[in-house]
Amino acid sequence: MGRSEREAVARGARLHTAARSLLSDHERAVRAARDALAPILDEAVARTLDVMPVARLQEATEGRLRLDAVERAGLATVAQVLDAGPGRLQQIPGVGRVTSTQLLGAARRLADAVHDSVAVHIDVDRPEPRTTELVRTLHVLVEAGPDARRAVAAAGALDRRLGPLLDTAGPAAGRLRMLVTGRAGRARALAAVDEVRGVVGEAERAGTEGLLAQASVDLLRGPASDVAAWVDFELRSAEYYGLLGEISGRAPDTAAVEGFLPEGIAGQVHGQHLVDDRLKVSLRGYQAFGARFALARRRVVLGDEMGLGKTVQAIAVLTHLVAEGQSHFMVVCPASVLVNWTREIEARSALRAVPLHGPGRADAFADWKGRGGVAVTTFDALRGFPVPGGGELGMLVVDEAHSVKNPLTLRARAVAEWAARCERVLLMTGTPMENRVAEFRSLVRLLDAGLADRLDGDAGLAGSVAFRKAVAPVYLRRNQEDVLTELPSLQHTDEWEEPSERDEAAYRDAVRAGNFMAMRRAAYAHPEGSAKLRRLRDLVREAAENGLKVVVFSYFRDVLDAVHGALEAGTAPVSGPVFGPLTGAVPPARRQALVDAFSAAAGPAVLVAQIQAAGLGLNIQAASVVILCEPQIKPTLEHQAVARAHRIGQLRPVRVHRLLAPGGVDERMVRILTDKARLFDAYARRSAVAEATPDALDVSDTDLARRIVEEEQARLGLADGSDGSASGHAPQSPSAPAHEQPPS
């Protein structure tokens, strides 16, 4: 009871002061951002109320109000009712004090609901003083980075622990105070001093005091210049919008963030701690939940919709496992995204990425075995590596896991062998269902054979809600619209173009031959007379005039060549530079280089890409116009392609144009695609309304092609043998189209 105790209390007090100081600095920075947000939010609310019809007041009162007199008085919107106030409302014949009070109460409830739900979009193309101030204040918090976030969390914990302890230990800070304190008080003070020593010791070992000091410095630097803040916003808008959601209090619905998991499983996930010290980025709330789900459940499918950051969630899981002492991890992915995975690991974490690809992969594998890190390899290359022994691998991550949905393929067998030897497995896919529940069951079997057995052949027909409940132990899925309210709008337009005479002739020839794939691309057989190409050039020209970048997707190589030629024809290209074609024949590193060059191009540009190659794993946020040259057999191909542009980091509204010819294969495919998309929605997107039918589950792509060919031959009168019909022959398989080079 002397100098040692006084020093311990003094050290605790200094640490407590540093923690309180950081909390104050952080609160000041947050308050500045909230103050900058308030007028923008108020304007967004006002705009919404200005166009909200007064009839909505009936909904807010369950039809109890009569609004005829109000509308006759010229009050057509909710905003006008609020502006009128009780005085003017009561001047309207038939509206007394009680009715006016009810009207205003309903209007205010609607205004509050709008205020709680309206999303603020920051327009990078039209910066104005208010949005510039918001971006500058957010820049302070973003620039401080994840270390500041961790420091603030540590400061809050220290404040909660040290505050009461220092109050109790107060008498030990001075000899006289201890003398006048009773025996029980002295005992409590000495016990508190011991606890203060423990807290201070923990902080010193963790380097917390330095972390607090650096975070305070970062938060006190003040906003950057307008230009620097806007440039940084364009580079990492997802982080700005994430912070904006936090400071505005507009967090996504908790149930949506948790993938509508049953309460018991969600509770287990909440109890899972996540150590993110080795992450270089801050996680969104739903991303942190996804990482904890993978840790708590150990062997899972992360089925988030494209664009929600499944990769960073996987990296967060790996950084946590490193903190627990694990050292070796394996990521298996398509060759097209191997470079992207390596980049993401290095940019977003302190982990070591080891690509196992190409001629030197055997040496790289030996290096990884010796030194550890995150090995990244392809499905085909995985088969050449020895399967690990039990406990050697901290986690197996399989990206685009629907690639191994067929358990009979060599790649699926290799993944199954590795998964069987790993305690932790993370399968990642935004499209786990595609057309058959059975295919999803094959993924579940990689994780939990018992659960897969319980998902018998009729499980899907029991309904989407029951199915999601059955797979909840291993499956988590969230949708963009539920958790990314800040994403700019996504507008789909079907561009129906009447075929030219040459288009019609090419189409009839393809139908007569029973060639399904030739039917799909007949509109591009004669580029000089193609109606679709004419419309495509118009769309690209319009985008270029507005300074926008365009990505053009097709399934077919010869269509891509036709598009490339059409865009570069003439003395003056309509689009700016044209990049590509990006196809399955292009090496993975070159694919990423093409995307990088397209993104870096100043002003408008076009990327021409094969939908199977560029629709898989690459991020094309620079594009704000997407053109689909033809409808796809699988709705997931279109979803994937659009999600390459409309995803986290996108700054502008995305417009999707699908080029279609009426009356033929396009129209039939659009109708069938709608049915397939409904099935996908029911099982992968949590729809309780759209239920599957056996026919929807069982139709194969070959059957689809044969059916369309036969229907078109009949419609065009080309089904009899005298006309040269090949209707007696099976149509060309959609899985191996002519003039098509499949992606690796």
Q: What percent of the chain has pLDDT over 90?
A: 41
Lowest mean pLDDT of 184-198, 243-257, 357-371, 640-654, name the range: 640-654
Q: Residue 547: CB partners within 8 Å, gap ≥ 6?
A: 603, 604
**Percentage, residues of the chain above pLDDT 70:** 86
Residue 521: count of CB within 10 angstroms of its CB: 27
Query: What stretch(es) of the chain map to CATH 3.40.50.300?
Result: 490-661
Ranked by mean pLDDT, which of 149-153, 622-626, 726-730 comes out on top? 149-153
Of residues 323 and 175, more confidence is placed in 323
pLDDT number for residue 175: 67
Q: What Å distances lie between residue 383 and 51, 332, 411, 417, 744, CA to CA?
A: 60, 11, 7, 10, 15
Kind plus residue range of the DSSP H or E element containing 660: strand 654-660
Letter for the amino acid at 739?
H
DSSP per residue, 317-335: HHHHHHHTT--EEEEEE-G
The 10s digit of each residue's pLDDT in 665-701 is: 998 888 877 765 555 555 544 433 323 333 333 345 6
Cβ atoms of 239 and 141 within 8 Å: the answer is no
Q: What is the pLDDT of residue 252?
A: 73
Asked if the model's pLDDT at residue 619 lies above 60, the reply is yes
Cβ 640 vs Cβ 615: under 8 Å: yes
Which pLDDT belongs to residue 474? Answer: 93
CATH 3.40.50.10810 domain extents, the chain: 251-483
Q: How confident is the model at residue 614 (pLDDT cuts 50, 70, 90)?
A: low
The pLDDT tens digits of the residues spanning 501-525 come to 999 999 999 999 999 999 999 999 9
Starting at the earlier edge strand, list the strands of the sheet with 606-610.
Answer: 490-496, 654-660, 623-628, 549-554, 606-610, 578-582
Residue 121 is predicted with a pLDDT of 81
Answer yes or no: is pLDDT of 320 > 80: yes
DSSP string, 37-92: HHHHHHHHHHHHHHTSBTTHHHHHTTT----HHHHHTT--BHHHHHHHHHHHHTTS
Query: What average pLDDT does the segment 207-234 reach?
Result: 88
Average pLDDT, the chain: 84
Lowest mean pLDDT among 5-9, 71-75, 86-90, 687-691: 687-691
Mean pLDDT within 485-508: 84
Task: Indicate whether 635 pLDDT > 60.
Answer: yes
Q: Per-residue pLDDT averaged across 97-126, rounded?
A: 85
pLDDT (0 to 100) of residue 735: 40
Q: Residue 134 pLDDT more than 90?
A: yes
> Quick one: CA dihedral 341, 345, 351, 352, positive or negative?
positive
One-character DSSP codes across 11-31: HHHHHHHHHHHHHHHHHHHHH
> What's the CATH number for 490-661?
3.40.50.300
Sign of CA dihedral 72, 77, 81, 83: negative
pLDDT of 471 strictly over 60: yes
Residue 522's Cα: distance from chain center in Å? 35
pLDDT exceeds cutoff 90 at 315: yes
What is the C-alpha separation between 305 and 312, in angstroms, rounded?
14
Q: How large is the average pLDDT for residues 231-256?
A: 82
Q: 450-459, 528-537, 689-698, 699-708: lowest mean pLDDT where?
A: 689-698
Greatest mean pLDDT range, 205-219, 437-451, 562-576, 599-613: 205-219
Give me the mean pLDDT over the 705-730 stretch: 68
Superfamily for domain range 251-483: Tandem AAA-ATPase domain (3.40.50.10810)
Q: Does 267 have pLDDT greater than 50?
A: yes
Structure tokens, 720? 């009899």
DSSP string for 137-170:
HHHHHHHHHHHHHHHHHHHHHHHHHHHHHHHHHG
Which pLDDT value is given to residue 571? 44
The pTM is what? Answer: 0.74
Token duo for residue 577:
């530079």
